[in-house]
Amino acid sequence: MEEKQKKERIGVYICHCGGNISDYVDVAQMRDIAKNEDGVVVSKNVMFACADSNQKEMIKDIQGQNLDAIVVASCSPKLHLHTFRNVASRAGINPYNYTQVNIREQCSWAHSDTPKEASVKAAGLIRAGIHKVAYSEALENIEVSSTRAAVVIGAGVSGMRAAIALAKMGNQVYLIEKEKTTGGHVANLGKLFVTEQSGKSIAGSLLEEIKKITSITLFTEASVEKVSGSLGNFKVDVKTGTETLHLAAGAILVATGFDPYQPKEGEFGYSQFPGVITLPEFRELIDNSGETLIYNNRKIKSIAYIYCVGMRQTKGENKYCSRVCCTTAIHSSLLVHEKFKNVTAYHLYRDIRTYGKQEVLYEQSSKNGDIYLKYEEKTPPVVSQEGNHLVIKIKDELTRRQEMELETDLVVLVTGMVPRSDHEAISGILKIPAGNDKFYNEIHPKLRPVETVINGVFIGGSCQGPKNISESVQSALSAAVKINALTKNPTINLEPIIARVNFEACTWCGKCAEVCEYDAIHQLEMYGKIVASVNEATCKGCGMCAPVCPADAIDIAQYSNAEIEGMIDGFAQKVEISEEAGAEAAGGEGGITMKDMPQVWRRIASSLETDPKTIPALAKELDLNPELITYNLMTMNKYSLVEAAGMDDSDEYYFYKLKNLKHVEN
């Protein structure tokens, strides 16, 4: 590790956030404390650090006073990290020589009851930030080259649909299917909800389309053997028959799907009594039946559906709801009603979850006279055989938990979705994690729903969790677009905050590679010895490797030992806050002075000083766009600088007048 040049011309900006910070944190003292730190040449209070005028001011400072690093103590970096990195860039210094200190969410807002303590904490954090930035390095974004190709694992509807989308966006696509045929479970389905189009025809038309697209290569009876490389440059070994192919791809989409739950022997009489079948078996029976519904050479006149079989087990393994089974069962019942007439349907359910548009099916089924009986998990229905019939005993929650029995010809176990029995094979090869339910996990269920923690590996369809066809295709298509966003440029830009190895110090003990969850560290021969090497595209900068290194040969960019130690030193210093100064800074009393405000605000304020005005009047007077006036006036309103003062004669616009501005300086 080369000796770092400590930064010696640091600029510090303490933001008031229009009172959000300065009402509680003694910003004047913060400025003075910062000023006394080593290397700080500029230390200022600013009303809104993010305001355009202040950004310009900062650039002027950086260039005029030859600053080499900056610290802004304001809000969370989630909000403005990039704002000030850009300020640094524009001023001509490296954006990574910038540190943001969060004194709003972490100080003024969190400790508004104890403003003095908020100030003490803010001072510590500001000092830590100054010490950190003093050791900061200039970093460049990592550029990774990318292959314009994708591997899609699984040729069910999700995989096929995503493959077509990827190909149409200009990618070479390798579609890998384990089975002999494509279409997965959907290919076995008959009429489906809403369009009445059959699953068979959906899967068939997708295959037809794929055959027409030359940039899609479909491998059936093929399996993924090994995956190496990383984002932009994956190498995927695929075995077809006796041959092993080596495919190059920029990204990988996993769309391996699900298995239907298989009831245990004796579960609700399954494989114990003839006439107890699962929902997929029943769908097949409906599709293959002619005029009459016949099972085991017997005409079926009544059907009992038992819901939530193998699902929502509070004590068992599958705690989740499979979300598609209620609708599938009810849709089956409607199909039966339509196709065979006069078949009694009993639905033994726990809760009906025909969410969204599927609710109409439920309503239709009730109107058809289907009988719904609700059972509790702890008192499940009991299936037995009486002569030719099956008899079910149930405690009906809807009829005072009365124990009742019903006679039926067929029992359909409404089974849900479980992860594929071979799910570990793929997750092992790709190192993608699975949840407690053993379905593959996304990074964030709401905000990053198709990305995995492995850069460049995406999940789509029901391998991620139970989904119906449209939801599966939605997620797969979303992954396809994500993949294309990565592969469409020859290079991919990545943040440089990753682990770095000091090759001189490294003696390769392998401990770092062991703890790395992303498989980003590998051996490398260099200078005639074996050292650890970090894959820049795979590394997430999580920092797991650094503390386990006995030779102290790994650190993380932006979190080097020097930076972290500097922060600790800065934070650990004693902070003296004087009380009386606190009162002065605590907003209100002094008011906000004109010179702290953005230019437009100043003009609005001076205009309002004479008499209250409406937005159009202000726009006319200041010769500015009314929308600009509205935006700025509303922000001023938010910070209690102006307030509404009645409506104009035509009841159309509010008048605004000054509120908290006491000293008006021009």
List interacting residues with other proteins (CB under 8 A). 302, 344, 346, 352, 362-363, 366-374, 393, 396, 398-400, 402-407
* Closer to other proteins by Cβ: residue 401 or 659: 401
Q: How far is the CB of 375 from other proteins (least distance, A)?
A: 13
Q: How far is the CB of 369 from other proteins (least distance, A)?
A: 4
Q: How far is the CB of 404 from other proteins (least distance, A)?
A: 6
Inter-residue contact 517 to 499 (CB < 8 Å):
no
* Closer to other proteins by Cβ: residue 400 or 444: 400
Give the closest residue to 412 by CA, choosing from 320, 317, 332, 316. 332
* Closer to other proteins by Cβ: residue 373 or 553: 373
* Closer to other proteins by Cβ: residue 363 or 504: 363
Output the CA torsion 315→319→325→330 (10° steps): 60
Q: How far is the CB of 347 from other proteins (least distance, A)?
A: 11
* Closer to other proteins by Cβ: residue 398 or 634: 398
Bridge partners (DSSP) listed for residue 410: 303
Which burial class, exposed, middle or buried, applies to 74 when counting CB atoms under 10 A from its CB (0-12, 13-18, 19+)?
Answer: buried
CA dist 496 and 97 (Å) reads 13
Residue 234 in tokens: 């994956």
Place of tokens 């922000």: 635
Place of tokens 């605000």: 601
Which burial class, exposed, middle or buried, applies to 1 when counting CB atoms under 10 A from its CB (0-12, 13-18, 19+)?
Answer: middle
* Closer to other proteins by Cβ: residue 241 or 369: 369
Inter-residue contact 445 to 435 (CB < 8 Å):
no
Q: How far is the CB of 374 from other proteins (least distance, A)?
A: 8
* Closer to other proteins by Cβ: residue 42 or 348: 348
Half-sphere exposure of residue 505, counting CA atoms within 13 Å on the CB side? 13
* Closer to other proteins by Cβ: residue 366 or 607: 366
CA dist 541 and 501 (Å) reads 12
DSSP per-residue string spanning 236-276: EEEEETTEEEEEEESEEEE---EEE--PPTTGGGTTTSTTE
Place of tokens 């209620």: 326
Half-sphere exposure of residue 382, counting CA atoms within 13 Å on the CB side? 9
SS (H, E, C) 73-84: EECCHHHHHHHH
Q: How far is the CB of 266 from other proteins (least distance, A)?
A: 23
In degrees and rounded to multiples of 5, residue 591 shows phi and psi of 70, 180
Specify the pairing of strand 258-260 against strand 417-419.
antiparallel
CA dist 351 and 338 (Å) reads 25
Strands (E), 506-573: 521-526, 529-534, 554-556
Per DSSP, 426 falls in state H
Instruction: State which amino acid sits at residue 627.
Output: E
Helix (H, G, I), strand (E, B) or coil at 380: coil
* Closer to other proteins by Cβ: residue 84 or 362: 362
Q: Bin 541: left if φ > 0, else alpha if -120 < ψ < 50, else beta.
A: left
Q: How far is the CB of 387 from other proteins (least distance, A)?
A: 14
Q: How far is the CB of 389 from other proteins (least distance, A)?
A: 11
Q: How far is the CB of 466 from other proteins (least distance, A)?
A: 24
Q: How far is the CB of 301 from other proteins (least distance, A)?
A: 10
* Closer to other proteins by Cβ: residue 363 or 565: 363
Q: How far is the CB of 411 from other proteins (least distance, A)?
A: 14
